[in-house]
A = this chain, B = another copy of it.
Amino acid sequence: MTRADGRADDELRPITITRNWLDHPAGSVLIDFGGTRVLCAASASEGVPRWRKGSGLGWVTAEYAMLPASTNTRSDRESVKGRIGGRTHEISRLIGRSLRAVIDYKKLGENTIVIDCDVLQADGGTRTAAITGAYVALADACAHLGVPEALTGSVAAVSVGIIDGVPRLDLPYEEDVRAETDMNVVMTGAGAFVEVQGTAEGQAFDRAELDALLTLAEKGCADLTAKQQAALGS
């Protein structure tokens, strides 16, 4: 009962974080969670949306999207369909909330940071890779704006799930589709929870399973936090 890629049940896939992959944005990161590859770009600009003007507070938002050829079978382009799907909306909102959890708007000042997370290749866990990479890009953007203190902590995310009755960490696509229960957990570097989203794909899960998954996620997020710190050189 081992995993197809030989990993232990509580082990992450190989993670690589490449900073400054683009020339233009204030921060940019290419992040790989195994076969999942996401380009995270943090664009900084002076000023805030109209509803926030004059408040002295900054703003951080995020947009998530998948390239058509990122998936096994090509998917239609949302710009061509003329509307963004429910899943895209949902993940964009999740990423934005997660990043805002570690931002001090006052210290950011009236600046806006937009984080674009574009999935270049998808193999499960695209939203957790996006959040984990986006944090690094955000850190670079804050430094670029001269306000590194606007960050109150770090944030990382991982997926966990129960496959054939066994809780596992960081699911690739092949495990994701077979999971009975699927959970995405976003945590701060300090070990507190920002988001917990668990879904029974097959049958409903009990409290003990829920507890096991949360413990596994705590382990995974701690590992990812270490990798983020290493990438940021601290």
Contact = CB atoms under 8 A, between A and B. Distances in A.
Interface of A: 22-25, 28, 35, 39, 41, 43, 45, 63, 65, 67-74, 77-90, 92-93, 97, 101, 114, 116, 118, 120-121, 123, 183, 187-188, 190-200, 203-207, 210, 214, 218
B71 A24 contact: yes
Does more than half of chain A's interface fall in helix, strand or loop, or is it mixed?
A: mixed
A146 to B, nearest CB: 19
Contacts of A198: 193, 195-197
A46 to B, nearest CB: 11
Chain copies in the assembled complex: 6
B63 A68 contact: yes
Contacts of A195: 198-200
14 contacts: A23-B35, A24-B71, A24-B72, A41-B69, A65-B79, A68-B114, A74-B116, A85-B89, A101-B200, A191-B206, A192-B200, A193-B200, A194-B200, A196-B198
